[in-house]
């Protein structure tokens, strides 16, 4: 058995045991389903409401993916720009830090006022939470590699533009992807929270409606969907990393 299959097996067994324990606790404790529904009950609800769920999942997934793409692009460009023209870093830094001191939930009403109830405000909110880890990780990656390799290019006759294209841009890619991998774990969460505040569709809207109807089983379906969607996003980013950084050994890419 390879260490990887072993790890997957241990993880799978752990989750299975937890779910079994939950099921057993609900049945033996005789808890009413509007307090804590059994996993089997949640699964049945999920199957029953599947046709209804499709559009909600699609909305949230769209917000999360577009937000990730926007946030990652802005964070990465800002990192490259800062490394190329240090003054832009000095200008951007206070704004960036300020944006991180204000929680997204607090900014959400403003965004909704400015950009409306639709897709735009949610994409911007996800992007706001995403760009920071990407910026930090890209900047660190550029700094780590810079001096030695930039000197190499200059010593061979290269200009500053060569240094940017040959060294800084490629050096930032693994960092940006590492930041994206972290950001992906809370992109769906950020999208759902912004849907709590306003919106006509999305997992957040589904959960709010379920809460108003005291449908605890449906809330659990929503939670499970968030977890699954997040896992899919993270796996997609890991695959993207494998494709974009083929020189890195596999263990460095998780």
Partner 1 sequence: MLAVRDLTVAFPPARGKGDATVALDRLTLEVSRGEFVAVLGPSGCGKSTLLRAWGGLLVERARVSGEIAVPRASDGTRATAWMPQRDGLLPWRRALSNAMVGAIAAGVPRERALPRARALLVEFGLGGFEDAWPHELSGGMRQRLALLRTCLTERPVLLLDEPFGALDPVTRRRMNAWLASVGLVSQDGERAVALVTHDVDEAITLADRIVVMSGRPGRIVHEVQAHGESRYDREALLASLDA
Please say whether the beta carbons of 142 and 83 come within 8 A.
Answer: yes
Based on the shown chain and the rule CB under 8 A, indicate whether residue 149 belongs to the binding site for partner 1. yes
Based on the shown chain and the rule CB under 8 A, indicate whether residue 155 belongs to the binding site for partner 1. yes
Based on the shown chain and the rule CB under 8 A, indicate whether residue 87 belongs to the binding site for partner 1. no
CB of 158 to partner 1, least distance (A): 3
Q: Which residue has the tokens 């990192």?
A: 79
Based on the shown chain and the rule CB under 8 A, indicate whether residue 253 belongs to the binding site for partner 1. no
Separation between Cα atoms, residue 213 and residue 188, nearest integer Å? 24
CB of 152 to partner 1, least distance (A): 4
Which residues, at least 6 apart from 14, have a Cβ–Cβ distance to it below 8 Å?
none
| Interacting residues with partner 1 between 157 and 196 (CB under 8 A) | 157-158, 162, 166-167, 170-171, 173
User: CB neighbours (10 Å) of residue 248?
Assistant: 13
Q: Measured from the CB atom, is 100 or 245 closer to partner 1?
A: 245
Q: Measured from the CB atom, is 108 or 171 closer to partner 1?
A: 171
CB of 199 to partner 1, least distance (A): 41
Based on the shown chain and the rule CB under 8 A, indicate whether residue 224 belongs to the binding site for partner 1. no
Q: Measured from the CB atom, is 74 or 169 closer to partner 1?
A: 169
CB of 167 to partner 1, least distance (A): 7
Q: Which residues bind partner 1 (CB under 8 A)?
A: 148-149, 151-158, 162, 166-167, 170-171, 173, 245, 247-249
């Amino acid at each position: 058995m390879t260490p990887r299959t072993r790890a997957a097996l241990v993880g799978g067994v752990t989750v299975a045991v937890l779910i079994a324990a939950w099921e057993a606790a609900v049945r033996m404790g005789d808890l009413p389903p509007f307090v804590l529904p059994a996993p089997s009950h949640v699964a049945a609800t999920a199957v029953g409401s599947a046709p209804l769920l499709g559009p909600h999942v699609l909305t949230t997934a769209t917000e999360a993916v577009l937000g990730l793409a926007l946030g990652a692009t802005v964070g990465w460009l800002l990192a490259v720009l800062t490394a190329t023209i240090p003054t832009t870093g000095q200008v951007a830094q206070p704004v960036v830090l300020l944006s991180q001191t204000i929680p997204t939930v607090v900014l959400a009403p403003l965004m909704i006022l400015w950009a409306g109830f639709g897709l735009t405000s949610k994409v911007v909110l996800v992007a706001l939470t995403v760009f920071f880890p990407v910026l930090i990780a890209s900047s660190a990656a550029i700094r780590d590699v810079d001096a030695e390799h930039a000197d190499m290019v200059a010593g061979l006759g290269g200009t500053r533009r060569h240094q940017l294209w040959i060294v800084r841009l490629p050096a930032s890619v693994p960092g940006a992807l590492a930041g994206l991998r972290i950001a992906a774990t809370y992109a769906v969460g950020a999208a759902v929270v912004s849907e709590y505040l306003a919106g006509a569709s999305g997992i957040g809207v589904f959960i709010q409606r379920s809460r108003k109807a005291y449908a605890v089983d449906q809330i659990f379906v929503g939670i499970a969907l968030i977890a699954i969607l997040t896992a899919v996003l993270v796996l997609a980013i890991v695959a993207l990393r494998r494709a974009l950084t083929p020189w890195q050994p596999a263990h460095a890419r998780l």
